[in-house]
A = this chain, B = another copy of it.
Amino acid sequence: MSESKGGKAAQFGVTPQSVDFNDWYNEVVVKADLADYSPVKGCMVVKPYGYAIWERINRWMEDKFRETGHEGLLFPTLIPLNFMTKEAEHVEGFAPELFTVTRIGTEVLEEPYVMRPTSETIIGHMWAQWLNSYRDLPFLHYQSGAVFRAELRTKLFLRTAEFYWQEGHTAHETREEAMAETLQQLDMYHAFCRDELALPVIRGVKTASERFAGAVETFSIEGMMRDGKALQSGTSHYLGQNFSRAFEVKFQGRDQQEHYAHTTSWAISSRIIGAIIMTHGDDKGLMLPPRIAPYQVVIVPVARKENAEQMYAEADRLAADLKAAGIRVKVDKREGVSNGFKYNDWELRGVPVRIEIGPRDLEQGVVVVKNRNAEEKETLPRAEAVAGMQQRLDAIQAYLLQRATDFLIENTVTVDTYEEFKAAIEAGKWVRAFHCGDRESEAQIAEETKAKTRNIPLDGELFGEPEEGGVCVHTGRPAAYGKRVLFGRQY
C-alpha cells in the first residue's frame, strides 16, 4: 500500500507547499476540483466542490442579514456609464477595470453601460427615488451576485475578473448610526471568519491611501496566508455623504430641513475561498474547516470485487447513521481506482475525516478513522466513531483556528527601525511599526519593500493596544494613529 501510495502521490499529488507556494495553490485549486480556467479572459468556472463552499457561505450570510433586519434586493448588473463619473474618486478608482457594453443586438448605444464593479452608484440613484422622510430610514439592503473588474493576471478565486459577493448597502439618518452599522458588519465578518472558517483575521481601519474609492473610512479584516502574505478578507466602508450628495439621496429630517443620508457599504467575496485554502492547507493539499466543508466525512469501503456489494451496503449504513447525526457524508464508490488513490484524493480535497471500512473491520465491529490533520489512523468501535463524530469535527475546527492564530502571531514582528522592517518583510513576516501617516512615505515603503499598510488594528483587537509616543519607522517623524500599524506583502 505505501508503495502505491507514494507512486500515486507523485502522479496525482501537488507540488509541496514548502517547495513552491504559488504552484501549490494553483495546483490544489484545480486538482481539488474547486474551480477551473475559462475561455473568458480573467474569468473562472467554479466547479461543484467550490460552489458547495460558496453556497454555504452565501446562505449563512443571507440568513444573518435577515436576522439583523437587512433586506435582499436585485439591482441591474449594468450601470449607465455616466453614473460612474458622478463620484469623482469612485470613477478614478474603477475606470481602468470596467467592462463596457456598447451594443445591444445591432444597435450601437449612445450612452454605454458598464458591468457593475460594485453598486453604490445605481443603488444611490434608486434610493434617491425611494427616500422622502427620516421615517423611511434606515435602508438596510444587500444584493447577492457577481461583479466585474478586469484583472491583468488571473489567479483562481483571488484575482478573477468576475467574482461573487453579497454587497451590503445601507443609508442612515446620522453619521453615528452609519458608523455603528459599518462596525457592526465588520464585527459580523470577523466572527464569521473565526467561527465558521477558522480564520483569525485582524480588524482595523485602513490608512487613507488604502481606502475604497469614494469612502470616508474603510475598515478591513486581514488574514495571514501560510506564505506570510496578507489577504484582505472583507471590508466595511463608511461612505459619509459622498454618494448621497452625488446621487441626491436626501430626506426631510426631524427638523423639517433637507439632509443627505449617511451611507455604508460592505462585502465579503469569493476571494475568501482563497483565504481558506491558503490559511489551512499543507503539503498534501487542502484542509477544510468542518463547518464549511461540503463533506465532513468521507467513507472509503475497502472492498474487493467479490465483496464490493456487501461493503458498499455497509458504508451506506454508516453514512446514514452519520447523516442522522447531522453530519455531511460522502461514500466513495469509484471503481477503477485504488484505495490509496482515494485516500490521497480526499486528503488533497481537504475532507476533515476519512473512515475506512473493510471486511475484517466489519467482523470486529470497528472502523478505521483518520483525521485530515493527524498523522496516524485510529481503530475505533463503529458506534463510538458515530457518537463521537461531531465532537471530533469540533476539535478539528478548533485545531485549525488555533494553528492559524499561532502562525499569525509567530509571524508578526514588532520593529522600530527601517532596517529591521525590511529584513522582516523580506523574511515573509508581517510587521508592526509606527508610521507618520504620510501618503508619500507609504508609497515609498511599498516601492522599496513591496509591503503596504494592512490596517491599524482596532482597540482591543489582537495587536490593537494603544501605545504612547513613537516615531515613524520610515521618516522619523512623530507617529500617527496612537498605535502601531500593520504592514505586510499582500495578495
Contacts and interface: CB of A to CB of B under 8 A. Distances in A.
Interface of A: 36, 38-41, 43-48, 51-52, 54-55, 59, 62, 71-80, 83, 95-106, 112-113, 115, 122, 125-126, 129-130, 135, 141, 145-146, 148, 150, 162, 164, 336
A58 to B, nearest CB: 10
Contact of A148 (B39, B77, B80, B135): B77
Copies in the complex: 2
Given A96-B105, A135-B336, 15 more contacts: A36-B126, A36-B129, A39-B80, A43-B78, A45-B73, A48-B141, A51-B74, A78-B162, A95-B105, A98-B105, A99-B101, A99-B103, A102-B102, A102-B103, A145-B145
Q: Summarize A's interface: helix, strand, loop or mixed.
A: mixed
Contact of A74 (B45, B126, B150): B45
A54 B115 CA distance: 23
A469 to B, nearest CB: 45
A483 to B, nearest CB: 38
A71 B148 CA distance: 24
A99 B75 contact: no
Contacts of A41: 104
A337 B455 CA distance: 47
A96 B105 CA distance: 4
B48 A73 contact: yes
Nearest to A70: B48
A364 B40 CA distance: 68
A116 to B, nearest CB: 10
Nearest to A164: B74
A125 B43 CA distance: 14
Contact of A77 (B77, B83, B135): B77
